[in-house]
Amino acid sequence: MLYAVLCYNDESVTSAWSKEEDDKVMRDLTAVQRKYVEAGKLGPVARLLPTTAATTLRHATGETIVIDGPFAETKEQLLGFYLIDCGSLDEVLDFARELSSANPSSGSYEIRPLALFKPGELPS
């Protein structure tokens, strides 16, 4: 089953890391990812730019509004995500635990099963 692992953290903490700290975290995360890549389980991985680079399109009562920044005001921000093919929830939880161990700051990992839709193909 395909899962999305959504990575949340306080971006004021992660954006305050020095280049050396950030490079170390990325090396540690890459080490975790390696065995899943080699097993053919890890799909695309994305690191999102800060919420200051976000734009939100909101549609309500027949009107569309475009606003700078994220819509939600939260203590943690979505910083990135992984797509991974795992045989069970326990397997993807192990992956998330390994990611968590490689991350020096507190944060959370939301795990969601995916329904895959391919553009141009209608569900049967």
Question: How many domains does the chain contain in total?
Answer: 1
Q: How confident is the model at residue 94 (pLDDT cuts 50, 70, 90)?
A: very high
Within a domain: 124: no
Of 51, 53, 31, the residue nearest 42 (C-alpha): 31
Within a domain: 50: yes
Backbone angles phi, psi at 18, to 5 degrees: -70, 165
Within a domain: 121: no
pLDDT of residue 71: 64
Residue 54's domain comprises: 2-113
Within a domain: 81: yes
pLDDT of residue 57: 85
Residues 6+ apart with CB under 8 A from 94: none
Q: Which tens digits make up the pLDDT trace of 64-90?
A: 988 887 766 677 889 999 999 999 999
Straight-line distance from the first to the last Cα atom of the chain, in angstroms, rounded to the nearest whole number: 19
Q: What is the CATH number of the domain that holds 98?
A: 3.30.70.1060
Q: Which tens digits make up the pLDDT trace of 10-59?
A: 988 999 999 999 999 999 999 999 999 999 999 999 999 988 888 888 88
